Amino acid sequence: MTNRSTYLIIVLAIVALAAFFYWRSFSGRKKYEWRDSWVQHAYSEQSDQPYGTQILHRLLQGYFPGQAFSDMRKSLPAELPPDSLKPASYVFVGEALFLDSLSTAHLLAFVKAGNTAFLSSKTIPFDLMFHLYFDECDQAEWNDYEMREDTLVSATVGRPALDAPVPLRYARQNQTHAYRWAYIEPYFFCDSLPPRPLGYLNDSMVNFAGFPYGKGRVLLHTTPIAFSNYHLLKQEGRAYTERVLSYLPEGNIYWDACSRVPETVARRRNQSRGFSRQLPPEHPLSYILQQAALAWSWYLLVGLAGGYLVFRAKRRQRIIPVLPKNENSSYEFINTIAELHFREKNYQNLCVQNMRLFLAQIRERYAMVAQLDPVTLKPRVDAHFIERLALVSEVPLARIHDIFAQYAASVQYEPTEDMMVRLHLAMEEFFKRAK
């Protein structure tokens, strides 16, 4: 073995050992998705990724012993009771909340009956805020949450107070990155109105507030990232969450997993509607389409009406006249010419036309080309051609010889009607037997 081969083996052994140790070191590690994006199912209660809410979801399931916890998967009107015998809580955590007019009315009825709605999102539907902030502070028309970009903020809660502000940050691969933190401007809270701040970011930006409505209240929280798995795995994050959840009354909890949408979708909807002092127009079919039984009844009614119109139009349609069948005049021409030849007793010309048709059909069916000599009118065929034709058509060789022999006699001598008929019958017999 040469020195070069020895060095090569040593290098390959080192590479193999390095690959083995790398595999042992990293194959067992769990990979986490750090991107806080809608595509990666951020704030999903089923996600154990850093920005999922699996820990919060499990915490709320046993938060009030003896009380029920419900996952809302279909729609808010279908699963959230409009009222209850004892106080209950509706909880939403996500980038943004989508509510149609029926869902908004149902949620407000739920709160008005004495229950609590906790909404933690980076934006809030204007249709909902129209009712919660109907009475405005002086020159303070609602224009959604404000945003401030920063790498780190500290969060505090008014009651019960935290021992120290809780640091909140947005990280990727455990590296802090800039983040757009949402907050409510302080001029939306005035002494003459009941809404009150309950928590702050950096001691000045309101991120937690209570808006009374009827017998209950709506708790708005602008920092859903605080309830993600990433922050709840830390002791100070759990302490902050416990302080915030202490504002929920003891009772059943309804977790909304069906109204979560991307922040961009909710903001685009708010911009299209604007915060108007007039109620948004109600669609006459909104309630009907939200109820399964009424929706199916409506679809059935529309289907029956459509079927009636279709069949009624069919009965009223004018009668379509029957057009005469198109006739092929070429057949009439051929019959006329044939009859003319037959009356003139031009049997030889009829035999020639028959042979041309015979050779044309052989050419189309078997791709065997043979033409008539323009002087003698005899087909230019030899013994090989006849044998090959007998082979491909599976017609006896003697019958094919007989066809060409009869034709040769008809053009060499003056044929009679009987000779013409026998030639025609021989050709017909050939095509009956041909494969």
Residue/partner pairs of 297-306 with CB below 8 Å, 24 or more apart: none
CA angle 133–81–284, rounded 5-degree value: 70
Report which of residues 22 and 16 the model is more confident about.
Answer: 16
Q: Is the pLDDT of residue 167 over 90?
A: yes
Report which of residues 57 and 321 the model is more confident about.
Answer: 57
Exposed/middle/buried for residue 366 (C-beta within 10 Å: 0-12, 13-18, 19+): middle
Token pair belonging to 309: 């119109």
User: What is the distance, to the nearest Å, from the Cα of residue 69 to the centroid of all Cα atoms in its chain?
Assistant: 32
Computed over every residue of the chain, the mean pLDDT equals 83
Determine the pLDDT at residue 334.
56
Question: What CA–CA distances, in Å, run from 414 to 337, 339, 345, 371, 390?
Answer: 20, 19, 11, 22, 29
Q: Is the pLDDT of residue 286 over 80?
A: no
Q: What pTM was computed for the model?
A: 0.59
Q: Provide the residue type at 338 as one letter.
A: A
Q: Judge contact between 46 and 38, C-beta under 8 A.
A: no
Q: Which residues of 266-275 are buried (b: 16+ CB within 10 A; e: fewer)?
A: beebbeeeee
Q: What is the DSSP letter of 145?
A: -
Q: Judge contact between 261 and 125, C-beta under 8 A.
A: no
Determine the pLDDT at residue 122.
93
What is the phi-psi region of residue 66: left when phi exceeds 0, alpha when psi lies from -120 to 50, beta otherwise? left
Q: Is the pLDDT of residue 282 over 60?
A: no
173's CB contacts (< 8 A; 6+ apart) are 34
Angle, helices 397-412 vs 383-393, to 10°: value is: 130
Q: What is the DSSP letter of 42?
A: T
Which of the residue ranges 106-120, 121-135, 377-391 would you say has the lowest mean pLDDT? 377-391
Q: Mean pLDDT over residues 73-77, rounded? A: 86
Determine the pLDDT at residue 423.
84
Report which of residues 93 and 22 the model is more confident about.
Answer: 93
| 136 phi, psi to nearest 5 deg | -95, 155
Determine the pLDDT at residue 125.
92
For 192-203, what is each residue's pLDDT tens digit?
899 999 999 998
Pick the closest to residue 305 from 294, 297, 293 (CA basis).
297
Q: Where are the domains of the chain?
A: 54-281, 329-433
**Band of residue 222 on the pLDDT scale cut at 50, 70, 90:** very high
**Band of residue 184 on the pLDDT scale cut at 50, 70, 90:** very high
Strand partners, 212: 217
Beta-carbon-side half-sphere exposure of residue 108 (alpha carbons within 13 Å): 16
Determine the pLDDT at residue 49.
87
Q: What length is written for the chain?
A: 435
